[in-house]
Amino acid sequence: MTYESGSAALGLGFMLGLRHALDADHIAAVCTIVSESRSIWRSSLVGTSWGVGHTAALLAAGTAVTGLKLTIPPGLAHSIETGVAIMLILLGARAVHTALRGWKIHRHDGRTRIHFCVHVPGSDNSPQHRHVLAFGARPFLVGLVHGFAGSAGLMILVLSTITSVLAGFAYIVVFGLGSTAGMLLMSSLIGVPFVWTARRFRSWVRVLQLMVGVGTILFGCVYGVAH
């Protein structure tokens, strides 16, 4: 492989990584986690942690395939895809639970009416006060699962175009950097409406979170059937 062709392959790997971050299942999963964030930098942390986990899984799969000459059985790949569907449903259910937890029904003593009040939990219980490492652990694990789920197709692509083991690992690293950069950007953008709503229409942020949770559950069900 010449220097020019190697550089082109790495450049293509980075661009494919950027595109890979936009897969619907990736966005759906990250969106449920970002919905708990109330600042842009924490939203970007979600995307970065997802990318690190995703790249770690790809490197592990790359070691098995390119270094140890192992193959990924179709049955295992199918099981991992099923795991992604289950993970999406659980993430959506968590978002729904978190959203509904912020709604309280109050009966006020009065002559004529019963009405509903929306209360958002105070800052003491907010995810904002979690330790950074604890906050990043969940997106890291989600990225890890997504990385293993997508590793079969990626490894086929790498092995069909790159003969050197070192070049294969370089491709995987650059692909991972691209996917991390793409998800960092996307998670930051996704966090904007949640941050803006939380600052101006605090009660409505739970409505957005509920919509995200329900949508992710439905998507997870469709994803599981399709795979």
Cβ partners under 8 Å of residue 12, min gap 6: none
Ranges 21-35, 63-77, 207-221: which has the least confidence: 63-77
Chain mean position to CA 137: 12
Question: Average pLDDT for residues 22-42, to the nearest whole number?
Answer: 92
Share above pLDDT 90 across residues of the chain, in percent, rounded to a whole number: 42
Q: Which of 116 and 156 is assigned the larger pLDDT? A: 156
Residue 131: exposure state from Cβ atoms within 10 A (0-12, 13-18, ≥19): exposed
The Cα–Cα gap between 58 and 213 comes to 28
Chain mean position to CA 125: 23
The pLDDT tens digits of the residues spanning 151-171 come to 756 666 665 666 677 877 888
Question: Average pLDDT for residues 104-117, to the nearest whole number?
Answer: 50
